[in-house]
Amino acid sequence: MEENSVPFTGCIQGGLHEGKTITVTGRVLPNAKRFHVNLQCGSKEKPDVALHFNPRYDESKHHVACNTMLSSKWGPEERKYYIPMTQEERFTLLFLVNRDTYSVIVNGAHFMEYLHRMSITQVDTIFVSGDVEIESIAFSNSAGLLKQPANQAVVM
């Protein structure tokens, strides 16, 4: 993957299942207004989006909005009025797939749980867009790490 190539669309190798992690490292641009990371179904226009993770620095109260898009319609937003990634700084954003939720972990600290609103089995694509640079996106299956330490792929 070419560095800084945003918007970025990538295939989630092996799809999603419990214990899978997706780790995005990158840097928020100086004076960033917004960016988002979607875990979604394919890459057509207006795909279903299981998790839209959207830091917003352009609102008077900075926040992260998370949501799900089904049949081109957003559901209710879940907001946190704190953005754990700072403009101009590098970050590590990790999504852990659980049975009922996605855990979102930023720079090693737990940020939020997002309850599944659609089946994880349909999610096969990661999409990143907005005022951000991506350095790497890596996938791993934490449930399988002990048994299959080599079963960890990194796409760059």
The answer to whether residue 74 forms part of the interface with ligand GAL (CB under 6 A) is yes
The answer to whether residue 70 forms part of the interface with ligand GAL (CB under 6 A) is no
Residue 1 DSSP class? -
Q: Name the 3-class secondary structure at 9.
A: strand
The answer to whether residue 65 forms part of the interface with ligand GAL (CB under 6 A) is yes
The answer to whether residue 27 forms part of the interface with ligand GAL (CB under 6 A) is no
CA distances from 104 to 36, 137, 147 (A): 13, 15, 25
The answer to whether residue 77 forms part of the interface with ligand GAL (CB under 6 A) is yes
The answer to whether residue 46 forms part of the interface with ligand GAL (CB under 6 A) is no
94 in Cβ contact with 23 (< 8 Å): yes
The answer to whether residue 68 forms part of the interface with ligand GAL (CB under 6 A) is no
For ligand GAL, which residue of 21, 38, 40, 67 counts as binding (CB under 6 A)? 67
Rounded-to-integer distance, Cα 96 and Cα 148, Å: 18
Length of the chain in terms of residues written: 156
Residues that bind ligand GAL (CB under 6 A): 52, 54, 65, 67, 74, 77
